[in-house]
């Protein structure tokens, strides 16, 4: 395969491995010193482990430090993990959390600059140039997706259409009229657009679309084939999480041989999720990331819960950065529905808050018309059973409203008969995910 | 005067109605009147039976979700406007009908309709004062 390859930051992206490790070590030492002086949570971790920033002689020494988890972020909600005073923070983003409280992250001016650069890198790798018109159909808001891609596009010099999410017909009209050439959205929304195009008789070849940059949801190779065929594009995957930075942590090039991880800014480890032991190169395990250059919200050994594998051989495109395989799933039972993190425990909490409701429940996640759907099946009991349909319906509507508020994504509540949810060795099976991975 | 009605939660899937009636049949319970309110997902089956205590017991044993509600049975003239005049009395007395359903049987020249009101006692008082005949519960369960 011979593709025309463009590299945004050749110095960084093609740095020889040994130099990369040197750079990582220097920046890791700086980051550890920063958090040891500014962030109480990390001060406690250093104390607990008996390891001090000065003890770090090699990258491998990092394994002496404990992990940082979502729970640390929750305990330190909202600003407890920030390493700079608020006057230096220019942006706040957040993502949904396990207990209804979101995770709050902050950026300095410098962090936004880094973020912009890293998104420009993967967008360039995915084929976007200054000639492109980038159609950003991620929701603009607290979620990091839209802003990250927005900054990256502008840095490249492409024209941005910040259309945001929703209103599929309007998306298609703008796509046709404004000649959008690069589509940015979740893979499931990409298929929704394709469906609507077919319905309206729009020929994908009549559009200017060339590239699709999909992220914020796990998706399969099968889905890539479908997206490419039905939208007439080259589809690439990209990866990020708000705790680390947002999109830009890793992204595929046109060779689609894994997502190039921005190792000059993030140090990656693969661990055994059960024992926490660092696994040898080439192993499948949980991705753990440490930020190397972040100012406002440094993260040390953050457990992403994403299962993947890293490849270190130089890519055909010339980049030496490690390549991360598509994520294979999550170590915990967190679900990503329409790009939003959903935990079964959140749903449980909502149900328990409703008077008299201590239910057996099950989550059915499916993909209908290429959009994720969440159905919460609740076993009815005499406390939540009403003789009057009006009251019974009201119960359902109330539960759905509360779920939507807490989860940030809509859920259908379906009442089912007692004992109809299958138990496995006495325990109800909480999640049935029918989406293809 | 009040009649005990049994309500049963059933999922909207084939065979469930037959499961309920089967349980009752096995216990020798006779269904006097029946109404089914449903949505696409679930339904509420309401029954008047000859032995509500026993029906409640056997249904619970079979893990159905059940409840008991007080309703009243009223004789309505079997002629045009018969129901209207009755409903007008209720309206004038600010009693709301939550739901109602008719008996298949007749009582002489009158139809029998089962009513669920938001306030059963007020409804009884209002109807009685207008000379509307409310059927004794024994009458209804033994039809």
State pLDDT tens for residues A149-197.
999 999 999 999 999 988 999 999 999 999 999 999 988 789 889 988 9
Q: Who among B10, B64, B67 is closest to A387 (CB)? A: B67
Q: Which of A12-26, A334-348, A402-416, B27-41 has the lowest mean pLDDT?
A: A334-348
Number of domains present in the structure of chain A: 2
Q: Who among A415, A418, A419 is closest to B42 (CB)? A: A415
Band (pLDDT 50/70/90 cuts) for residue A119 is very high
Band (pLDDT 50/70/90 cuts) for residue A41 is very high
* pLDDT given for residue A401 in this prediction: 93
In a domain, A227, yes or no: yes
pLDDT score of A51 more than 90: yes
pLDDT score of A98 more than 50: no
* pLDDT given for residue A354 in this prediction: 75
Of the residues A298, A332, A366, the one at which a domain ends = A332
pLDDT score of A436 more than 50: yes
Average pLDDT over residues A336-364: 76
Query: Is the domain of A209 the same as that of A344?
Result: no
Q: What is the chain B residue with the closest CA to A386?
A: B67
Query: Quick one: tokens of A261?
Result: 């991880």
pLDDT score of B139 more than 80: no
* pLDDT given for residue A377 in this prediction: 92
Q: Residue A129's domain is classified under what CATH number?
A: 3.40.50.12780
Which of A358, A384, A387 is best to mutate for the B interface (most B CBs within 10 A)? A387
Interchain pair B11, A390: CB under 8 A: no
Query: Quick one: tokens of A216?
Result: 């914020």
Query: Is the domain of A320 the same as that of A353?
Result: no
Q: Which residues of A touch B66 (CB under 8 A)?
A: 382, 385
Domain that holds residue A117: 10-332
Q: Who among A380, A390, A414 is closest to B65 (CB)? A: A380
Query: Is the domain of A319 the same as that of A344?
Result: no
Band (pLDDT 50/70/90 cuts) for residue B40 is confident
Band (pLDDT 50/70/90 cuts) for residue A426 is very low
- CB-based contact (8 Å) between A283 and chain B? no
- CB-based contact (8 Å) between A418 and chain B? yes
Q: Which residues of A touch B65 (CB under 8 A)?
A: 380-382, 385, 417-418
Query: Is the domain of A306 the same as that of A173?
Result: yes
Q: Which residues of B touch A418 (CB under 8 A)?
A: 63-65
In a domain, A1, yes or no: no
Interchain pair B98, A388: CB under 8 A: yes
Full set of structural domains in chain B with CATH: 2-69 (3.30.2130.10), 71-141 (3.30.2130.10)
Interchain pair B63, A419: CB under 8 A: yes
Report the gap between the CA of A329 and the closest CA in chain B (Å): 31
Q: What is the chain B residue with the closest CA to A375?
A: B41
Query: Is the domain of A154 the same as that of A300?
Result: yes
Q: Which residues of A touch B37 (CB under 8 A)?
A: 389
* pTM for the model: 0.64
Interchain pair B9, A420: CB under 8 A: no
d(CA A352, CA B132): 46
Judge contact between B107 and B75, C-beta under 8 A. Answer: yes
Query: Is the domain of A319 the same as that of A367?
Result: no
Query: Is the domain of A290 the same as that of A384?
Result: no
Band (pLDDT 50/70/90 cuts) for residue B77 is confident
State pLDDT tens for residues A21-36.
999 999 999 999 999 9
Of the residues A332, A360, A375, the one at which a domain ends = A332
Q: Which residues of B touch A380 (CB under 8 A)?
A: 9, 42, 65
ipTM for the predicted complex: 0.75
* pLDDT given for residue A332 in this prediction: 64
Query: Is the domain of A310 the same as that of A213?
Result: yes
Interchain pair A387, B69: CB under 8 A: yes
In a domain, A3, yes or no: no
- CB-based contact (8 Å) between A381 and chain B? yes
Query: Is the domain of A283 the same as that of A191?
Result: yes
Query: Is the domain of A141 the same as that of A282?
Result: yes
Angle, alpha carbons A412-A417-A422 (nearest 5°): 85
Of the residues A308, A332, A356, the one at which a domain ends = A332
In a domain, A4, yes or no: no
In a domain, A396, yes or no: yes
Interchain pair B11, A382: CB under 8 A: no
DSSP-based three-state secondary structure for B50:
coil
Q: Which residues of B touch A393 (CB under 8 A)?
A: 39
Q: Residue A400's domain is classified under what CATH number?
A: 3.30.300.30
Report the gap between the CA of B78 and the closest CA in chain A (Å): 27
In a domain, A128, yes or no: yes
Interchain pair B5, A416: CB under 8 A: no
From chain B, which residues contact A within 8 Å (Cβ)?
5, 7, 9-11, 16, 37, 39, 41-42, 44, 46, 63-67, 69, 98-99, 116
Q: Who among A389, A414, A418 is closest to B65 (CB)? A: A418
Residue percentage of chain B with pLDDT more than 70: 96
In a domain, A318, yes or no: yes
d(CA A270, CA A259): 15
- CB-based contact (8 Å) between A392 and chain B? yes
Q: Who among A381, A388, A414 is closest to B41 (CB)? A: A414
**Residue B110: which H helix or E strand, with range?**
strand B110-117
Q: What is the chain A residue with the closest CA to B60?
A: A382
Query: Is the domain of A296 the same as that of A257?
Result: yes
Interchain pair A385, B64: CB under 8 A: no
pLDDT score of A428 more than 70: no
Query: Is the domain of A320 the same as that of A342?
Result: no
In a domain, A2, yes or no: no
């Amino acid at each position: 395969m011979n593709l025309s390859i463009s590299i945004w930051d050749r110095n960084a992206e093609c740095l020889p491995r040994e130099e990369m490790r040197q750079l990582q070590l220097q920046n890791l030492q700086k980051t550890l010193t920063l958090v040891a002086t500014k962030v109480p949570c990390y001060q406690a971790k250093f104390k607990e482990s008996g390891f001090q920033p000065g003890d770090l002689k090699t990258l491998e020494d990092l394994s002496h430090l404990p992990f940082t988890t979502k729970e640390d972020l929750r305990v330190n909600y909202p600003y407890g993990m920030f390493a700079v005073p608020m006057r230096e923070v220019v942006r706040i983003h957040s993502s949904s959390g396990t207990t209804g409280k979101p995770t709050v992250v902050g950026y300095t001016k410098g962090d936004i600059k880094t973020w912009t650069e890293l998104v420009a890198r993967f967008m360039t790798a995915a084929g976007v140039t200054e000639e492109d018109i980038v159609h950003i159909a991620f929701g603009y808001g607290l979620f990091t997706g839209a802003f990250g891609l927005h900054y990256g596009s502008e840095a490249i010099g492409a024209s941005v259409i910040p259309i945001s999410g929703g209103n599929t017909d309007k998306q298609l009209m703008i796509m046709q009229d404004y000649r959008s050439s690069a589509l940015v959205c979740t893979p499931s929304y990409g298929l929704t657009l394709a469906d609507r195009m077919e319905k309206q008789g729009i020929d994908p070849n009549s559009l200017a679309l060339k590239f699709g940059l999909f992220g914020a949801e796990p998706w399969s190779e099968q889905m890539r084939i479908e997206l490419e065929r039905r939208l007439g594009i080259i589809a690439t995957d990209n990866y990020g999480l708000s705790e680390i930075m947002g999109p830009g942590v890793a992204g595929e090039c046109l060779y689609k041989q894994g997502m190039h991880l921005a190792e000059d800014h993030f140090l990656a480890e693969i661990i055994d999720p059960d024992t926490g032991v660092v696994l040898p190169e080439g192993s499948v395990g949980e991705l753990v990331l440490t930020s190397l250059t972040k100012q406002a919200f440094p993260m040390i050994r953050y457990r992403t819960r994403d299962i993947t594998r890293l490849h270190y051989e130089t890519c055909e495109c010339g980049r030496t950065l490690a390549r991360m395989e598509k994520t294979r799933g999550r170590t915990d039972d967190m679900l990503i529905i329409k790009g939003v993190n959903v935990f079964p425990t959140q749903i449980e909490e909502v149900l328990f808050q409703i008077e008299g409701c201590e239910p057996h429940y099950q989550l059915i996640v499916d993909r209908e018309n290429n959009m994720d759907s969440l159905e919460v099946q609740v076993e009815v009991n005499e406390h939540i059973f009403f003789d009057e349909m009006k009251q019974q319906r009201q119960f359902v509507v109330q539960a759905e409203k509360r779920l939507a508020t807490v989860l940030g994504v809509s859920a259908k509540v379906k009442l089912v008969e007692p004992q109809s949810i299958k138990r496995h060795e006495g325990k109800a099976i909480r999640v049935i995910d029918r989406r293809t991975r | 005067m009040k009649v005990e009605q049994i309500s049963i939660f059933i999922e909207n899937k084939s065979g469930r109605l037959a499961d309920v009636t089967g349980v009752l049949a096995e216990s020798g319970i006779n269904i006097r009147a029946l109404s089914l309110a449903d949505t696409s997902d679930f339904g509420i089956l309401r029954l008047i039976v000859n032995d509500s205590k026993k029906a409640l017991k056997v249904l619970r044993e079979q893990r159905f979700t059940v409840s008991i509600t007080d309703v009243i049975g009223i004789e309505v003239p079997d002629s045009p406007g018969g129901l209207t005049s009755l409903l007008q009395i209720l309206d004038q007395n600010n009693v709301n009908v939550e739901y109602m359903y008719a008996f298949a049987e007749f009582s002489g020249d009158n139809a029998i309709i089962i009513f669920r009101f938001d306030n059963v006692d007020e409804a009884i008082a209002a109807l009685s004062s207008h000379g509307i005949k409310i059927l004794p519960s024994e009458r209804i369960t033994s039809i």
